[in-house]
Amino acid sequence: MNTAAEQTATHPFFAAHTHGFVRVATSTPDVRTADIAFNRDAILAEARRAHDAHVDLLVYPEMCLTSYILDDLVMQTAFLEMVHSALADIAEASRDLTPILVIGAPLMAQGQLYNCAIVIAAGEIAGAVPKSYLPNYREFYEKRWFAHGRHVRGAMMQAAGRSFPFGTDLIFQSSAIADFRLHIEICEDMWSPAPPSIEGTLAGATVCANLSASNIVIGKADKRHLLARSHSARTSCAYVYSAAGHGESTTDHAWDGQGFIYEMGTLLAESERFALHPELAVADVDCTAIMGDRIRNKTFDDAIEAAGRPADRFRTVPLIHHPARGDIGLIRPLARFPFVPDRLHKLDEDCYEGFNIQVDGLMRRMEATRPESLVIGISGGLDSTHALIVAAKCCDRLGLPRTMIRGYTMPGFGTTDHTRGNAWKLMQAFGITAEEIDIRPAATLMLRDIGHAFADGEPVYDLTFENVQAGLRTDYLFRLASQHKGFVIGTGDLSELALGWCTYGVGDHMSHYAVNAGVPKTLIQHLIRWAIRSEQFSHDTDEVLQAIVDTEISPELVPVGADGAVQSTEGTVGPYALNDFFLHHIMRWGQKPSKVAFLAWHAWRDAAAGEWPPFFPENARTEYDLPTIRHWLEKFLWRFFQTTQFKRSAIPNGPKVSGGGALSPRGDWRAPSDAVATVWLEELRANVPESTRID
């Protein structure tokens, strides 16, 4: 019998490499000026430490084998010969280590001296890349010693008793991970108006490494971040930057040893600056997501063509790569709520932007249509509450009375006194025109007219029973909008659209303008909390808003049970926290179900691990095991891909709010209404174990 730990060590699902992750690291090793033997040993010490951390790619600083500040020492023959010997030693000593090493050193080729990055994998020197741009301004004098490598293509080099490719036209391809393709540039190359890595990424590289000996002055660290973040976002790549640190000569310079890893504009890891001891910054880069982003960005395709298809000019160098097997964990920031930031300042920024996107969209629609009223169905739940907040802010900004908002609470067979009371308190707190229409008589008449058993007193609470109520509510709202010369504000959110959790046509599926259509349920909760925290409204209003946030999500279409239990939405469709997680990774990145499950398992299996969004209630911090994740992901796939697209193909206008995407057929998402979910369901069932334990 295998234990759970034994299974996670052996089943492919639990291995990060299975899902296209590459563990990359920056290293700032000990260094001693011009002491090649010392530096060689320091490089190997860091390589062994990275091996123990299951690193796949280890990027060192520029000229780390010799140190950077050498001046004319770099042109000494004995010194350069020692470089060859040390490279041979490193290659041999690293034969059984997992990391691919990218080391900086000076090398001679065709009678010229180059500042190079040398790639060593599985005990062999795979290739060397020369620096393209040599700084020769202010404190820099590299053109005194080195030749630039901008035009070195198709060349070979002899060094350390080996022959290997040499040039700026190299893409290094992992033998183990298909989407792991490496391009290398050196220090100043990143600061150039046309960094070589632009052509490298257009040639197919997913990871760009930069070996740097950038000296530090005030403000320079921020600029390095700016350049790397921008570059990784613009070219959809991972950018791995490693700068020289303590131990370099301080004749006229100082060094901070900055290392960081960006992925498509997001900082994954950063080393400690000015550290006295060797530093490793480690993160798992998602090469599959990078490729997924590129295939969705057709401007990237255009850029490839505009650049003359760089892949045709590059050489692919195979890298023998033996990554660690089994469950090595996952080292990267991973949000439980991908639509909701974990950091306080970012949460406030996103809530401010999201809220104002909705307000601005509705204001523009009001300016265009000049309504005399805004009609909203107020249930006392999250979505209608947030729609009312948006509408109220629109009226305030346009100088219109809130009384033009006509709120209607429409109790049905499952409405509780609690939500009905909240609805009335909410409408009164916002000072809108508030009315109540009891839909039960009309619903009973319709059920009787269609011959439904409930009309004869039988407790039949089927889909028809629910849809009659949902449809009547929307029918009333449309007729009221016509009567009062206004339009209906839709309340349904992005999560409900993904799950098809709405009544089609004349139901909550339809409105004149859907302000929440681009906002997932998990973000709506935070938007309301933000409205409370930022004191947008009065204290009394905030109390009502808090009570609504604390209420269980329910459509309240089925009468309360004998045990007092209220109909639970999440009991039917699954936790919105998981559904929004699934939606983000499938809609935004096109990830396979097995990878989505892997990410969800790492994000949600331990409530005590990782970050939670600020102000998230302690008592709501839950966790989900793999069987639960697998169960609800299967339900999500069936709903999203097979049964509900026809609803999304016919939705009203509404603003896109999140970069994670929207589901409007006029926006991010287009799909046939008659597709089947077979491919996704089979992939899930084939590659995700039903449990972490085998009995």
Torsion angle, alpha carbons of 526, 527, 532, 538, to 10 = -160
Please write the tens of the pLDDT for every residue from 350-368: 999 999 999 999 999 999 9
Give the pLDDT confidence score for residue 562 in this predicted structure. 60
Give the pLDDT confidence score for residue 695 in this predicted structure. 46
C-alpha 35/C-alpha 46 separation (Å) is 17
Answer for the pair 515, 358: CB distance below 8 angstroms, yes or no: yes
Whole-number Cα distances in Å, 428 to 159, 212, 406, 431: 81, 63, 11, 5
In this prediction, residues 654-666 reach a mean pLDDT of 91
Residue 473 has pLDDT above 60, yes or no: yes
Is 237 among the catalytic positions?
no
Residue 227's pLDDT band, with cuts at 50, 70 and 90, is very high
Give the pLDDT confidence score for residue 185 in this predicted structure. 98
Task: Return the H-helix or E-strand segment holding 173.
Answer: strand 170-174
Q: Which of 183, 254, 182 is nearest to 213 (CA)?
A: 254
If one compares 4 and 510, the residue with the highest pLDDT of the two is: 510
Residue with tokens 């490839």: 304
Least confident segment among 63-67, 452-456, 478-482, 665-669: 665-669
Please tell me whether residue 416 adopts helix, strand or coil conformation: coil
Residue 3 has pLDDT above 80, yes or no: no
Please write the tens of the pLDDT for every residue from 566-587: 788 888 999 999 999 999 999 9
Give the pLDDT confidence score for residue 1 in this predicted structure. 39
Residue 694 has pLDDT above 60, yes or no: no
In this prediction, residues 417-444 reach a mean pLDDT of 95
Residue 622 has pLDDT above 70, yes or no: yes
In this prediction, residues 102-108 reach a mean pLDDT of 97
C-alpha 224/C-alpha 215 separation (Å) is 11
Which of these is catalytic: 64, 116, 187, 237?
187
Residue 106 has pLDDT above 70, yes or no: yes
Please write the tens of the pLDDT for every residue from 363-399: 999 999 999 999 999 998 999 999 999 999 999 999 9
pLDDT over 90 percentage in the chain? 79
Which of these is catalytic: 46, 64, 116, 131?
131
Give the pLDDT confidence score for residue 554 in this predicted structure. 76
If one compares 669 and 4, the residue with the highest pLDDT of the two is: 669
Please write the tens of the pLDDT for every residue from 244-254: 888 887 888 88
Q: What is the mean pLDDT of the chain?
A: 93
Give the pLDDT confidence score for residue 5 in this predicted structure. 52
Which of these is catalytic: 46, 62, 142, 185?
62
In this prediction, residues 146-169 reach a mean pLDDT of 94
Measured from the Cβ of residue 88, the count of other Cβ atoms closer than 10 Å reads 16
Give the pLDDT confidence score for residue 539 in this predicted structure. 84
C-alpha 616/C-alpha 599 separation (Å) is 21
In this prediction, residues 142-171 reach a mean pLDDT of 94
In this prediction, residues 458-474 reach a mean pLDDT of 95
Please write the tens of the pLDDT for every residue from 586-595: 999 999 999 9
Please write the tens of the pLDDT for every residue from 296-316: 999 999 999 999 999 999 999
Is 64 among the catalytic positions?
no
What residues contact 237, with CB distance under 8 A and at least 6 apart?
197, 201, 205, 206, 207, 208, 231, 263, 264, 290
Please write the tens of the pLDDT for every residue from 54-67: 999 999 999 999 99
Query: Which residues are documented as binding site?
Result: 137, 214, 220, 377-384, 467, 491, 496, 501-504, 647
Give the pLDDT confidence score for residue 160 in this predicted structure. 86
Predicted structure pTM score: 0.93
Is 248 among the catalytic positions?
no
